[in-house]
Amino acid sequence: MMHRIMRYARTLAIHSALALGIALPLHAQRTHVLLVIGLSGEPQFKRAFEASAQSARNAAKSRWGVSDSSLIVLTEDSVRTALSSGRSTRENIAQAFLTLSSRVQPGDVLFVMLMGHGSGEGAQSKVNLPGPDATATEYASWLAGFGKQQVVFVNAATGSGDFVPVLKAPNRVVVTATKTSNERNESVFLQYFAGALGMDAADADKDGRLSVFEVFRFARTEVGKVYTSSNRMQTEHALVSDSLLAARVAFGKTAASANPRIAALVAERQALESEVASLRTKKASMNVEAYEVELERLLLALAEKTQAIRAAGGGT
Protein backbone atom coordinates (compact mmCIF):
# COMPACT_ATOMS: atom_id res chain seq x y z
CA MET A 1 0.00 0.00 0.00
CA MET A 2 2.74 2.43 0.99
CA HIS A 3 4.59 1.58 -2.26
CA ARG A 4 1.54 2.53 -4.31
CA ILE A 5 1.14 5.79 -2.36
CA MET A 6 4.76 6.71 -3.01
CA ARG A 7 4.41 5.96 -6.72
CA TYR A 8 1.24 8.06 -6.84
CA ALA A 9 3.05 10.92 -5.11
CA ARG A 10 5.88 10.73 -7.65
CA THR A 11 3.35 10.74 -10.47
CA LEU A 12 1.76 13.89 -9.02
CA ALA A 13 5.18 15.49 -8.72
CA ILE A 14 5.97 14.71 -12.35
CA HIS A 15 2.64 16.14 -13.49
CA SER A 16 3.28 19.24 -11.37
CA ALA A 17 6.60 19.70 -13.13
CA LEU A 18 4.86 19.35 -16.48
CA ALA A 19 2.30 21.96 -15.45
CA LEU A 20 5.15 24.36 -14.74
CA GLY A 21 6.29 24.14 -18.33
CA ILE A 22 8.49 21.08 -18.43
CA ALA A 23 7.36 18.79 -21.24
CA LEU A 24 9.88 15.97 -20.82
CA PRO A 25 12.36 17.78 -23.08
CA LEU A 26 14.52 15.74 -25.38
CA HIS A 27 17.12 18.29 -26.32
CA ALA A 28 19.84 16.00 -27.59
CA GLN A 29 23.57 16.53 -27.61
CA ARG A 30 23.80 16.56 -31.40
CA THR A 31 21.68 16.03 -34.50
CA HIS A 32 22.68 13.76 -37.39
CA VAL A 33 20.95 13.95 -40.77
CA LEU A 34 20.47 11.59 -43.70
CA LEU A 35 18.58 12.88 -46.75
CA VAL A 36 17.76 10.45 -49.56
CA ILE A 37 16.34 11.38 -52.98
CA GLY A 38 15.06 8.43 -55.00
CA LEU A 39 14.43 8.23 -58.72
CA SER A 40 12.58 11.29 -59.98
CA GLY A 41 11.41 9.99 -63.34
CA GLU A 42 10.79 13.43 -64.81
CA PRO A 43 12.74 16.73 -64.77
CA GLN A 44 10.09 18.64 -62.78
CA PHE A 45 10.17 16.03 -60.02
CA LYS A 46 13.96 16.07 -59.95
CA ARG A 47 13.94 19.84 -59.48
CA ALA A 48 11.29 19.64 -56.78
CA PHE A 49 13.06 16.85 -54.85
CA GLU A 50 16.42 18.59 -55.02
CA ALA A 51 14.90 21.91 -53.89
CA SER A 52 13.35 20.20 -50.87
CA ALA A 53 16.60 18.43 -50.04
CA GLN A 54 18.45 21.74 -50.30
CA SER A 55 15.93 23.37 -47.94
CA ALA A 56 16.41 20.58 -45.39
CA ARG A 57 20.19 20.69 -45.79
CA ASN A 58 20.30 24.46 -45.30
CA ALA A 59 18.13 24.20 -42.17
CA ALA A 60 20.36 21.47 -40.75
CA LYS A 61 23.54 23.44 -41.30
CA SER A 62 22.47 26.99 -40.51
CA ARG A 63 19.69 26.53 -37.94
CA TRP A 64 20.37 23.19 -36.26
CA GLY A 65 24.15 23.39 -36.15
CA VAL A 66 24.69 19.99 -37.81
CA SER A 67 28.33 19.36 -38.69
CA ASP A 68 29.37 18.32 -42.19
CA SER A 69 30.46 14.91 -40.89
CA SER A 70 26.94 14.28 -39.58
CA LEU A 71 25.11 15.41 -42.72
CA ILE A 72 24.75 12.94 -45.61
CA VAL A 73 22.76 13.66 -48.77
CA LEU A 74 22.26 10.91 -51.34
CA THR A 75 20.69 11.63 -54.75
CA GLU A 76 19.92 9.71 -57.93
CA ASP A 77 22.91 11.30 -59.70
CA SER A 78 25.79 8.95 -60.48
CA VAL A 79 28.34 11.73 -59.91
CA ARG A 80 28.75 13.87 -56.84
CA THR A 81 27.36 17.40 -56.93
CA ALA A 82 27.37 20.38 -54.59
CA LEU A 83 24.29 18.84 -52.95
CA SER A 84 25.08 15.14 -53.12
CA SER A 85 27.41 13.03 -50.98
CA GLY A 86 26.83 10.03 -53.22
CA ARG A 87 24.25 8.04 -55.18
CA SER A 88 21.07 6.85 -53.45
CA THR A 89 21.53 3.14 -54.04
CA ARG A 90 20.40 0.61 -51.45
CA GLU A 91 24.03 -0.19 -50.65
CA ASN A 92 24.96 3.47 -50.14
CA ILE A 93 21.95 4.04 -47.89
CA ALA A 94 22.94 1.06 -45.76
CA GLN A 95 26.50 2.43 -45.58
CA ALA A 96 25.21 5.88 -44.59
CA PHE A 97 23.32 4.39 -41.63
CA LEU A 98 26.44 2.46 -40.65
CA THR A 99 28.56 5.62 -40.88
CA LEU A 100 26.16 7.64 -38.73
CA SER A 101 25.87 4.80 -36.19
CA SER A 102 29.58 5.23 -35.49
CA ARG A 103 29.13 8.95 -34.80
CA VAL A 104 26.02 9.08 -32.63
CA GLN A 105 26.01 9.20 -28.85
CA PRO A 106 23.20 8.28 -26.43
CA GLY A 107 20.60 11.06 -26.44
CA ASP A 108 21.50 12.32 -29.92
CA VAL A 109 18.85 12.81 -32.61
CA LEU A 110 18.92 11.05 -35.97
CA PHE A 111 16.82 12.72 -38.67
CA VAL A 112 16.16 10.75 -41.85
CA MET A 113 14.07 11.99 -44.78
CA LEU A 114 13.19 10.07 -47.94
CA MET A 115 12.01 11.87 -51.07
CA GLY A 116 10.66 10.32 -54.24
CA HIS A 117 7.98 7.99 -55.57
CA GLY A 118 6.66 5.16 -53.45
CA SER A 119 5.61 1.67 -54.42
CA GLY A 120 4.74 -1.64 -52.80
CA GLU A 121 2.61 -2.37 -49.72
CA GLY A 122 3.11 -3.23 -46.07
CA ALA A 123 6.58 -4.45 -45.14
CA GLN A 124 7.48 -4.39 -48.85
CA SER A 125 6.71 -0.67 -49.24
CA LYS A 126 9.56 1.15 -50.98
CA VAL A 127 10.83 4.42 -52.35
CA ASN A 128 12.07 3.90 -55.89
CA LEU A 129 15.88 3.99 -56.01
CA PRO A 130 18.61 3.63 -58.65
CA GLY A 131 19.03 -0.15 -58.82
CA PRO A 132 17.32 -2.48 -56.30
CA ASP A 133 14.86 -0.72 -53.97
CA ALA A 134 15.12 -0.92 -50.19
CA THR A 135 11.97 -2.11 -48.43
CA ALA A 136 10.42 -0.73 -45.27
CA THR A 137 11.67 -3.85 -43.48
CA GLU A 138 15.24 -3.04 -44.52
CA TYR A 139 14.94 0.54 -43.24
CA ALA A 140 13.65 -0.88 -39.95
CA SER A 141 16.70 -3.16 -39.71
CA TRP A 142 19.04 -0.24 -40.39
CA LEU A 143 17.36 1.81 -37.66
CA ALA A 144 17.69 -1.00 -35.12
CA GLY A 145 21.19 0.18 -34.28
CA PHE A 146 19.89 3.54 -33.02
CA GLY A 147 18.01 2.37 -29.93
CA LYS A 148 19.72 4.91 -27.65
CA GLN A 149 18.92 7.88 -29.89
CA GLN A 150 15.76 9.82 -30.69
CA VAL A 151 14.96 8.90 -34.30
CA VAL A 152 12.84 11.00 -36.64
CA PHE A 153 12.11 9.11 -39.87
CA VAL A 154 10.24 11.04 -42.56
CA ASN A 155 9.06 9.27 -45.69
CA ALA A 156 7.78 12.16 -47.79
CA ALA A 157 7.28 10.02 -50.88
CA THR A 158 3.95 9.14 -52.38
CA GLY A 159 2.31 5.93 -51.18
CA SER A 160 4.35 6.04 -47.96
CA GLY A 161 1.72 5.36 -45.29
CA ASP A 162 2.55 1.67 -44.78
CA PHE A 163 5.99 2.65 -43.44
CA VAL A 164 4.40 3.69 -40.12
CA PRO A 165 3.44 0.27 -38.72
CA VAL A 166 6.68 -1.28 -39.97
CA LEU A 167 9.04 1.34 -38.52
CA LYS A 168 7.11 2.41 -35.41
CA ALA A 169 9.18 1.85 -32.25
CA PRO A 170 10.00 3.44 -28.86
CA ASN A 171 11.94 6.72 -29.07
CA ARG A 172 11.07 6.95 -32.76
CA VAL A 173 8.79 9.33 -34.68
CA VAL A 174 7.68 8.20 -38.13
CA VAL A 175 6.15 10.79 -40.45
CA THR A 176 4.64 9.88 -43.82
CA ALA A 177 3.19 12.03 -46.59
CA THR A 178 0.21 9.70 -46.99
CA LYS A 179 -1.91 7.53 -44.71
CA THR A 180 -1.78 4.42 -46.91
CA SER A 181 0.24 2.91 -49.70
CA ASN A 182 -2.69 3.55 -52.03
CA GLU A 183 -2.37 7.36 -51.96
CA ARG A 184 0.03 7.52 -54.87
CA ASN A 185 -1.05 10.66 -56.68
CA GLU A 186 1.45 13.49 -56.90
CA SER A 187 2.02 14.84 -53.38
CA VAL A 188 2.81 18.38 -52.21
CA PHE A 189 3.56 17.46 -48.57
CA LEU A 190 7.32 17.24 -49.15
CA GLN A 191 7.80 20.83 -50.27
CA TYR A 192 5.92 22.23 -47.29
CA PHE A 193 7.51 19.93 -44.72
CA ALA A 194 11.04 20.49 -46.01
CA GLY A 195 10.45 24.23 -46.28
CA ALA A 196 9.04 24.44 -42.76
CA LEU A 197 12.22 22.95 -41.29
CA GLY A 198 13.84 26.37 -41.69
CA MET A 199 10.82 28.67 -41.32
CA ASP A 200 10.09 30.92 -38.34
CA ALA A 201 6.42 30.80 -39.33
CA ALA A 202 6.30 27.12 -38.34
CA ASP A 203 7.56 27.89 -34.82
CA ALA A 204 4.13 27.99 -33.16
CA ASP A 205 5.36 28.63 -29.61
CA LYS A 206 8.06 31.09 -30.76
CA ASP A 207 10.77 29.49 -28.63
CA GLY A 208 13.39 29.62 -31.39
CA ARG A 209 13.25 25.86 -31.93
CA LEU A 210 11.08 23.76 -34.24
CA SER A 211 9.56 20.58 -32.90
CA VAL A 212 8.80 17.77 -35.31
CA PHE A 213 5.11 18.19 -34.56
CA GLU A 214 5.22 21.94 -35.25
CA VAL A 215 6.74 21.25 -38.67
CA PHE A 216 4.28 18.43 -39.35
CA ARG A 217 1.26 20.49 -38.35
CA PHE A 218 2.41 23.48 -40.41
CA ALA A 219 2.97 21.33 -43.51
CA ARG A 220 -0.33 19.49 -43.10
CA THR A 221 -2.18 22.79 -42.86
CA GLU A 222 -0.50 24.17 -45.96
CA VAL A 223 -1.28 21.01 -47.91
CA GLY A 224 -4.95 21.40 -47.00
CA LYS A 225 -4.92 24.98 -48.24
CA VAL A 226 -3.52 23.88 -51.61
CA TYR A 227 -6.40 21.49 -52.22
CA THR A 228 -9.04 23.87 -50.86
CA SER A 229 -7.86 26.81 -52.98
CA SER A 230 -7.93 24.70 -56.15
CA ASN A 231 -11.29 23.07 -55.32
CA ARG A 232 -9.79 19.60 -55.55
CA MET A 233 -10.48 16.57 -53.41
CA GLN A 234 -7.50 16.00 -51.15
CA THR A 235 -5.67 12.85 -52.19
CA GLU A 236 -2.91 12.87 -49.56
CA HIS A 237 -3.24 12.73 -45.79
CA ALA A 238 0.01 12.91 -43.82
CA LEU A 239 0.55 10.81 -40.69
CA VAL A 240 2.73 11.07 -37.59
CA SER A 241 3.21 7.96 -35.48
CA ASP A 242 3.68 9.59 -32.06
CA SER A 243 2.45 13.16 -31.69
CA LEU A 244 3.61 13.43 -28.07
CA LEU A 245 7.18 12.46 -28.87
CA ALA A 246 7.04 14.57 -32.03
CA ALA A 247 6.15 17.59 -29.89
CA ARG A 248 9.19 17.03 -27.68
CA VAL A 249 11.89 16.40 -30.26
CA ALA A 250 13.00 19.81 -31.51
CA PHE A 251 15.65 21.27 -33.79
CA GLY A 252 17.43 24.59 -33.68
CA LYS A 253 19.94 26.50 -31.65
CA THR A 254 18.42 28.63 -28.90
CA ALA A 255 19.85 32.13 -29.05
CA ALA A 256 22.00 33.03 -26.07
CA SER A 257 20.75 35.80 -23.81
CA ALA A 258 22.74 38.99 -23.39
CA ASN A 259 21.99 38.77 -19.67
CA PRO A 260 24.80 36.65 -18.15
CA ARG A 261 22.52 35.44 -15.34
CA ILE A 262 19.87 34.21 -17.80
CA ALA A 263 22.52 32.68 -20.07
CA ALA A 264 23.91 30.74 -17.12
CA LEU A 265 20.46 29.52 -16.09
CA VAL A 266 19.68 28.44 -19.66
CA ALA A 267 22.97 26.51 -19.82
CA GLU A 268 22.12 24.80 -16.53
CA ARG A 269 18.67 23.89 -17.84
CA GLN A 270 20.14 22.47 -21.05
CA ALA A 271 22.47 20.30 -18.96
CA LEU A 272 19.46 18.96 -17.06
CA GLU A 273 17.63 18.34 -20.33
CA SER A 274 20.57 16.27 -21.55
CA GLU A 275 20.40 14.28 -18.32
CA VAL A 276 16.70 13.57 -18.97
CA ALA A 277 17.48 12.42 -22.52
CA SER A 278 20.24 10.16 -21.23
CA LEU A 279 18.00 8.76 -18.49
CA ARG A 280 15.30 7.87 -21.01
CA THR A 281 17.76 5.71 -22.95
CA LYS A 282 18.41 3.70 -19.74
CA LYS A 283 14.75 3.17 -18.80
CA ALA A 284 14.50 -0.41 -20.07
CA SER A 285 17.49 -1.52 -18.01
CA MET A 286 16.52 0.28 -14.78
CA ASN A 287 14.33 -0.66 -11.86
CA VAL A 288 10.96 1.06 -12.33
CA GLU A 289 11.04 2.81 -8.96
CA ALA A 290 14.65 3.97 -9.40
CA TYR A 291 13.80 5.37 -12.83
CA GLU A 292 10.75 7.25 -11.51
CA VAL A 293 12.68 8.68 -8.56
CA GLU A 294 15.45 9.98 -10.81
CA LEU A 295 12.98 11.31 -13.39
CA GLU A 296 11.09 13.14 -10.64
CA ARG A 297 14.30 14.72 -9.38
CA LEU A 298 15.32 15.92 -12.82
CA LEU A 299 11.87 17.23 -13.79
CA LEU A 300 11.47 19.17 -10.55
CA ALA A 301 14.94 20.64 -11.04
CA LEU A 302 13.96 21.60 -14.59
CA ALA A 303 10.74 23.21 -13.35
CA GLU A 304 12.68 25.25 -10.79
CA LYS A 305 15.23 26.29 -13.42
CA THR A 306 12.48 27.32 -15.84
CA GLN A 307 10.80 29.41 -13.13
CA ALA A 308 14.12 31.07 -12.36
CA ILE A 309 14.61 31.93 -16.04
CA ARG A 310 11.12 33.40 -16.25
CA ALA A 311 11.64 35.38 -13.04
CA ALA A 312 14.85 36.81 -14.51
CA GLY A 313 12.94 37.96 -17.58
CA GLY A 314 14.17 35.27 -19.93
CA GLY A 315 10.83 33.85 -21.05
CA THR A 316 10.89 30.04 -21.36
Task: Give tens-digit pLDDT for 40-58.
Answer: 999 999 999 999 999 999 9
How many domains, the chain? 2
Whether 284 and 135 map to the same domain: the answer is: no
17 located within any domain = no
Whether 181 and 124 map to the same domain: the answer is: yes
What CA–CA distance (Å, rounded) separates 17 from 247?
Answer: 17
Asked if residue 38 lies in contact with residue 76, where contact means CB atoms within 8 angstroms, the answer is yes
Whether 228 and 135 map to the same domain: the answer is: yes
Whether 268 and 245 map to the same domain: the answer is: no
> 181: alpha, beta or left, given left = phi > 0 and alpha = psi -120 to 50?
alpha
Asked if residue 223 lies in contact with residue 188, where contact means CB atoms within 8 angstroms, the answer is yes
Residue 156 domain boundaries: 31-251
pLDDT in tens, the chain (316 residues): 555 555 555 555 555 544 444 444 444 458 999 999 999 999 999 999 999 999 999 999 999 999 999 999 999 998 888 899 999 999 999 999 999 999 998 889 999 999 999 988 999 999 999 999 999 999 999 999 999 899 999 999 999 999 999 999 999 999 999 999 989 898 999 999 999 999 999 988 777 889 999 999 999 999 999 999 999 999 999 999 998 889 889 998 655 556 788 777 877 877 787 788 778 778 889 999 899 899 889 888 888 887 887 787 755 5
Which of 251, 278, 298 lies at the terminal end of a domain, its last residue?
251
Whether 237 and 262 map to the same domain: the answer is: no
5 located within any domain = no
- Sequence-distant (6+) residues with CB within 8 A of 123 are 135, 136, 137, 162, 166
The single-letter code of the amino acid at 313 is: G
Whether 244 and 261 map to the same domain: the answer is: no
| pTM summary value | 0.75
Whether 260 and 142 map to the same domain: the answer is: no
What CA–CA distance (Å, rounded) separates 305 from 21?
Answer: 10
- Please tell me the predicted confidence (pLDDT) of residue 272: 82
Percent of the chain scoring above 70 in pLDDT: 88
Whether 41 and 171 map to the same domain: the answer is: yes
Whether 72 and 146 map to the same domain: the answer is: yes
Query: Closest Cα partner for 107 from 24, 168, 211, 27?
Result: 27
Whether 223 and 312 map to the same domain: the answer is: no
Whether 218 and 267 map to the same domain: the answer is: no
10 located within any domain = no
- Please tell me the predicted confidence (pLDDT) of residue 27: 42
Whether 230 and 263 map to the same domain: the answer is: no
